[in-house]
Amino acid sequence: MSAAAVEHPCDGEPERPKRQERKEPESLLDSAERLSEQLPGHRVEIIGGVITVAPSPDGAHANALTSLMVPFLAAGLHSEESKVLQAVGVWLPGGPSDYAIPDLAVVDADFDKGEARNNCYDPGAFRLVLEVTSGNYQNDLRNKVVAYAAAKIPVYVILDRRHGRVHILTEPFAGGYDNHQVYAPGHKVTLPGSIGAEVTLDVAALVAAGRPRPKREPSPEPSAEPGTEQSPEPSES
């Protein structure tokens, strides 16, 4: 006995396309991480809910940063009580994903005892942050002033290479720093003792360290001596 064919109600009807699952929108942190992978050497930060990208620093920037580190190290701030660190991330309260990566920071020695998210740490462990300006100098002089003050970081130092000045900002409040002093070459500035030691900065030396060297002009070709003729170039046959 053969089995009778069973008709299905969908026989002969075209297949309906499957629903495509909606992709979740990329978070700010995911976008920042993707940009960091795509732009090696660039500094990617999120400040005020906006992703910022700083280009790779030039040699003069690195020279100035090293010159800035010397007095902090000489004062004994890289010790059992505190650390002097380059490019360590700090969480900012301006948004759920906000963070910055200052060029230099003085932090408590146990800065990493708490939870670290995206390699960034609690701003309560930061005694000082320092930035050496590059092409994005307005970000250091404006947006980060508000961001670091909101994080209640006690001291913010800026080496403004564009204008040849050093800014010292202290006494943070909700919209910025109540005390903002600007120093030109010729001044020597002693930082607040709250960072853990007495540190004095020579403004002229720092400005000079951050100034790019002038490009060398190409040497002129030697001219022929009077009374001599230059032989013509051989022609190609």
- Quote the DSSP letter at residue 95: S
CB 146 within 8 A of CB 176: yes
Which residues sit opposite 46 in a β-bridge?
51, 99
- Retrieve residue 170's tokens: 């202290």
In angstroms, rounded to a whole number, what is the distance separating the alpha carbons of residues 92 and 40? 23
Predicted local distance difference test score (pLDDT) of residue 2: 44
- Retrieve residue 46's tokens: 């999120």
In angstroms, rounded to a whole number, what is the distance separating the alpha carbons of residues 229 and 234? 15
Stretches in the chain below the pLDDT threshold 70: 1-23, 216-237
- Retrieve residue 227's tokens: 């009374």
Q: Torsions phi, psi of 177, nearest 5?
A: -115, 135
In angstroms, rounded to a whole number, what is the distance separating the alpha carbons of residues 209 and 203? 10
CB 103 within 8 A of CB 131: yes
- pTM for the model stands at 0.80
Q: How do residues 82-104 score in pLDDT, each as one tens digit?
A: 999 999 999 999 888 999 999 99
- Provide Rg for the chain, Cα atoms: 29
